[in-house]
Chain A
Amino acid sequence: AQRVTQPEKLLSVFKGAPVELKCNYSYSGSPELFWYVQYSRQRLQLLLRHISRESIKGFTADLNKGETSFHLKKPFAQEEDSAMYYCALKISNFGNEKLTFGTGTRLTIIP
């Protein structure tokens, strides 16, 4: 069965330091992976997806199929990055698509 693992529930990083939020997945098919973010008192929203290969708010994430990982990285943390981050895997089954979420990592940026 498919699974998404985020090993860190909590992560604290000093402002200006590099950030890495870990995500590993297990899925027998071709994976499509996403990072979603929830800022305080806001709704869950897409941060980035691996297909786009883009950098959003300074964050990047590379899909590593060999290591089945999709870690989220940012070279210099900013205070506004404090939020809850979820890694998600989209699976397709007979035309039905759905997302499987990791347990999330709460990132706190220390001023």
Chain B
Amino acid sequence: SAVISQKPSRDICQRGTSLTIQCQVDSQVTMMFWYRQQPGQSLTLIATANQGSEATYESGFVIDKFPISRPNLTFSTLTVSNMSPEDSSIYLCSVDRAGTEAFFGQGTRLTVV
């Protein structure tokens, strides 16, 4: 299994500001994934973060809006930049160990006012 610590667990932010979400895994993993879950909707993959290379973003998501860092094999951050109310969502960090099972953090519930 994998234990993922994600913080903050929730935050309320002013529009126009940025929030950085941290994700710490208890063991080394090659790929880390960032998802968004908007109210009443499913999980949508934002990007895949590999250590030592640029993150790979899914269609509809760009680096300027969601910059990602991956400084080592156990840690990653996702920043939500220049926030608007439409960014209010739950953001989830995930890892997939051995390609057999995905493990998720508790999520960060973001409200933009």
For A97, give its contact among B41, B43, B99 (CB under 8 Å).
B99
**Least distance between A15 CB and chain B CB atoms (Å):** 27
Also in contact, A43 and B104, with CB within 8 A (given A96-B48, A96-B56) = yes
Interfacial residues of chain B within 33-56, with CB under 8 A of chain A in the complex: 33, 41-45, 48, 56
Residues of B within 8 A of A43 (CB): 104-107
**Least distance between A52 CB and chain B CB atoms (Å):** 9
Which residue of chain B has its CB nearest to the CB of A9?
A: B40
For B48, give its contact among A34, A98, A103 (CB under 8 Å).
A98
Residues of B within 8 A of A88 (CB): 102
Contact-size category for A: 10 to 19
* Residue pair A102, B45 in contact (C-beta under 8 Å): no
* Residue pair B43, A101 in contact (C-beta under 8 Å): yes
Also in contact, A98 and B33, with CB within 8 A (given A43-B106, A44-B92, A103-B41) = yes
Secondary structure dominating the interface of A: strand
For A99, give its contact among B41, B56, B102 (CB under 8 Å).
B102
Which residue of chain B has its CB nearest to the CB of A103?
A: B42
Interfacial residues of chain A within 1-58, with CB under 8 A of chain B in the complex: 34, 36, 43-46, 49
Which residue of chain B has its CB nearest to the CB of A45?
A: B104
Any A CB within 8 A of the CB of B86? no
Residues of B within 8 A of A99 (CB): 33, 43, 45, 96, 102
In whole angstroms, how far apart are the Cα atoms of A22 and B54 in the complex?
37
Q: Write the residues of chain A forming the contact surface with B, with a CB cutoff of 8 angstroms.
A: 34, 36, 43-46, 49, 86, 88, 96-104
